[in-house]
Amino acid sequence: MTPASGTPATEGQVPHTAIIWTGAYTPDGGGRAEGIGALRANADGSLEWLGTAVAAQSPSFVAVHPTLPVVYAVAEQRRMVQAYRHVDNHRLEPMGTPWPAGEATCHVAVDPQGRFVTATCWGDGQVLLYELDADGGITERFPASPSVDPHAAHSPDERRQSRAHTSLMLHDGRVMTTDLGHDTLRIWTYKPGTGLVADHEVVLPFGSGPRHLTLHSGGNVFVVSEYSIEVFVVRPDAGIFELVFRGPATLGGAKDGDSAAEICLGPEGTFAYAGVRGSNRISVLEVGSNGSELLPVQDLDSGGDWPRHHLVRGPWLHVAHERSDNVATFALDPGTGLPGPVVHNVETPSPTALVPNG
């Protein structure tokens, strides 16, 4: 394995497109990282640990501006969002001051046009929007409107805490967010100077816990549920999303102690990959019926402990393991989409997200 020390594994300039930023937990979040990390992605699929890009407090998720050398990160335990400027090689520096967020802010995403950043807060259910200036700096903060009643779940017999977890930018400019606590997908419209305004919502089965999302080229959204270990497909019909598919996230079924994590698509959009913590698996799902079905075809060992996040980059699948401090890399068969054995492992402290710089 490549050493996970603070000393870069390889000196010299690294092409911006070869960098993968790592979100991570620092000691305030029970982790071992020092901040946002940087990995070099090599042509053979291997990754090299370049060290800590910038000191930060539990930057558990990061996002990259679509056109500018700016990275955004949460400070999950500190209830903040911070912008960072990419200054040299694989280094970042703070850009402006941190902006307040909500309790356990766990995800950030950037508008494809570079107009705003969204943040979702697992602890109190807040969905926030931060408008950006021409340099990518944060200029304003808006809570979503109307705000969600944190205990108004879709169950008359139980008051459940809202737990916003992730946001996804849709093809038409709207934003979709997940709420694990309320088993709900919420769709928002962006209004400059106001923030996110509620459009409509899709209620998923009770106790499913929708966590992460990925967007199919046809406009359907694939959802993985943390609690029920399932996948869902929602389809836009005249602008209104509707649930069109529900199925298991794994071929072998959920096991005691499991919780699903990330879902992403392969390079051709014909396969999806879902991560399951606990039993530490990656599930391969075939995309069927023109993006309206997800059918599990294989489960494989993820290559470490607690696969928190994963990334398909070209023919390679990289899986970040929060508890075993490593990223495992698999080669994807171009014909079947199935991963082979682990071809490379790199040590990196408490990784929770893998986000390419370009």
Residue 43 lies in a domain: no
CA atoms lying within 13 Å on the CB side of residue 140: 13
CA atoms lying within 13 Å on the CB side of residue 150: 11
In this predicted structure, what is the pLDDT of residue 7? Answer: 39
Closest CA to 90 of 3, 2, 20, 1: 20
Residue 232 lies in a domain: no
Which residues in the chain land under pLDDT 50? 1-11
In this predicted structure, what is the pLDDT of residue 12? Answer: 60
Residue 72 lies in a domain: yes
Residue 287 lies in a domain: no
Beta-sheet pairing, 184-191 with 175-179? antiparallel
Closest CA to 141 of 92, 181, 97, 171: 97
Residue 342 lies in a domain: no
Collapsing DSSP states into helix, strand and coil, what is residue 258?
coil
Alpha helices in the chain (DSSP H): none
Cβ atoms of 310 and 320 closer than 8 Å: yes
Domains identified in the chain, total number: 1
In this predicted structure, what is the pLDDT of residue 2? Answer: 37
Burial of 245-272, coded b for 16+ CB within 10 Å and e otherwise, reads bbebbbeeebeeebbbbbbbbbeeeebb
Residue 175 lies in a domain: yes
In this predicted structure, what is the pLDDT of residue 76? Answer: 97
What is the CB neighbour count within 10 angstroms for residue 93?
A: 11
Name the pTM for this structure: 0.94
Residues linked to residue 81 through DSSP beta bridges, in sequence order: 74, 99
Residue 71 lies in a domain: yes
In this predicted structure, what is the pLDDT of residue 69? Answer: 97
Q: Which domain holds residue 92?
A: 60-203
In this predicted structure, what is the pLDDT of residue 264? Answer: 98
In this predicted structure, what is the pLDDT of residue 3? Answer: 36
Residue 282 lies in a domain: no
- Looking up residue 173, the CATH number of its domain turns out to be 2.130.10.10
